[in-house]
Chains A and B, each alone.
Chain A
Amino acid sequence: MTAAVVVDILLGLILVGLAAQVAIGKHLFRAIVFYVAFGLAMALIWSRLGAPDLALADAAIGAGLTGALMMVAFRQLVEIDPKQSQAQVTRGSALAVVIAVLAAGMVATIGLTALSLERQPGNAGLQVLATLPDTGLGNPITGVLLAFRGFDTLIEMTVLLTAFVGSRVITTRSRLSVTTISGFELPLVRTLVAVILPLAVLIGMHLLWIGSDQPGGAFQAGSVLAGSGVLLLLTGTLLPAPHSRALVRLALVVGVGALCMLVLAPLLQGKVPMAYLGRGSLLFAETAMMVSIAVTLTLLFAGSPSLKAGR
C-alpha cells in the first residue's frame, strides 16, 4: 500500500465522516457548518484528483456561497420563529436505512463495473485536447466551456439569471437589514476589509486573466468576487437597497448578453452560430460572465433587488 493510497483513504474517510454529520447530525445549524467543511474537503479531493478548476469552484461556490446562503436562510427562519433552531423532526426509519444502503450499493456497482471495464479515454476528451492548440487556449476546460460547448454555458448563465428572478418573485419582504457585525464597532473589521478586499479583487482578476491557459476562469473569478460582496454586506460596507437600479440590472444580464453576442457574432461573418472567434471574444464573454455571476450571487445573499453604499 503506497503513501498515495493511504492519503486517498484518509481523504475519503474525512469526506464520508463530514457527509454523515451533514446527513444525520442532530442540529440543523451544525449540519450547515459541516456542509461548509464538506465542501472544503471536496475541494481537497478535487486537487488530489488533478482537477484544480473544480477545486477552486467547489471551495468558492460549493462550500463558501452555498454555506452562506444556507446560513442566511437559517437566520431568517430563526428570526421568524426563534424555536426553529431547536425544532428538529428527524425520525429514524429502518426502511430509509434499507433504501439508502441499496442506493449506495447501486452507485458502487455502477462505478465499480465501469472501472472494471477496459477504460478508454473519452473520444470527446481526446478531441478537445487534439483541437485545443487550434484555438490558442491552454486550459482545456475553458476550451470546452466557451469554445466547444458554448451553448451549455449560455444555458447555465440563463439558469443563474432565472434563479435570481425566481427568488425575487417569491420573496415578498425584501430583507433590508442583513445582520452585520458593524454594530459591534470592532476596530479591526475595517482594517480586515481594507486588506482582504483588494486581495480578493486581485485574485478574481488574476483567475479571470489566466483562465484561458491555466486553472481559473469566469466562474472561479465571479465566485471570488461574490465572496467579497458577501464580506462587504456582512461588515455593513454595502447595504441591501429596496429598488433595483439600471446599472445593477445591466450587471445581472450582461453575462447572458455577452454569450448571446458570442452566438450571433459569427453569423455576421457568414459562419455557423457560436463559431470560435478567437481569444479576445472569449475574454470579453468571460469578463461579462464574471460580473454577472458576482452580482447575481451577491444579490442572492443580500436577498434584495439592489445594493447601496453603507458606512
Chain B
Amino acid sequence: MSSAIFVLVAAAIFGLGVHGLLVSAHIMRKLLALNLMLSALFLLLIVVPATIEGRPDPVPQALVLTGIVIAVSTTAFALALMVRLFRKQGHATIHPDIDPDLLGRRHDRHQPEADNEQAP
C-alpha cells in the first residue's frame, strides 16, 4: 500500500520534472527540473525492490547514495557552465525560437568577455 503511494508520488514528481524541463527557458530551471526527475527515480529505485528484514534493499540504497553525490557534482559543473554562458552571451536561456533581434540587443548591452581575459 505505502509502496504504491510512493510509486505514484515518484510518477507525479517525474511528470512535473519533465514539464518543467520542457517549458522553462532558463537553464537553472531546467537544472532544477532535472534534479526533480532524478529524485523521482531515486524514490522509485528504493520503493520498488522488496524490503529485506523490513529495511530497503542495501544495494539500491548504496546506488542512490552514489547517485546523490554524482548529482551534486554534475549540477555544480552545469551551474559553472551556465554562468560562463551568461557572461559570454548575456542570457542564460536555451530557446531556439526566441527573437534573434532581441538576443542581438542584449548581446550588445552585455559586452561579451574577451578571450584573453583569463583567471590568474
Contact = CB atoms under 8 A, between A and B. Distances in A.
Contacts, number: 292
Given A19-B36, A62-B68, A242-B120, A77 B83 contact: yes
B50 A99 contact: no
Interface string B71-89: 1111111011111101100
A236 interface: no
Nearest to B5: A8
B50 A144 contact: no
A89 B92 CA distance: 11
A163 B76 contact: yes
Contacts of A62: 39, 68, 71-72
Interface string A207-227: 000000000000100000000
A82 to B, nearest CB: 12
A20 B16 contact: yes
Contact of A66 (B2, B7, B35, B59): B35
A96 to B, nearest CB: 4
A101 interface: yes
A8 to B, nearest CB: 4
A179 interface: no
B36 to A, nearest CB: 5
A288 to B, nearest CB: 15
B92 A77 contact: yes
B68 A58 contact: yes
A23 interface: yes
Interface of A: 4-5, 8-9, 12, 15-16, 19-20, 22-24, 28, 31-32, 35, 38, 42, 45-46, 49-51, 53-54, 57-58, 61-62, 65-66, 69-70, 73-74, 76-77, 80-81, 84, 87-93, 95-97, 99-101, 103-105, 107-108, 110-112, 114-115, 119-122, 124-126, 128-129, 140-141, 143-145, 149, 152-153, 156, 159-160, 162-164, 166-167, 170-174, 219, 242-243, 293, 297, 300, 303
Given A107-B44, A141-B65, 10 more contacts: A53-B61, A73-B28, A107-B15, A108-B7, A122-B50, A126-B52, A153-B66, A156-B70, A171-B80, A172-B113
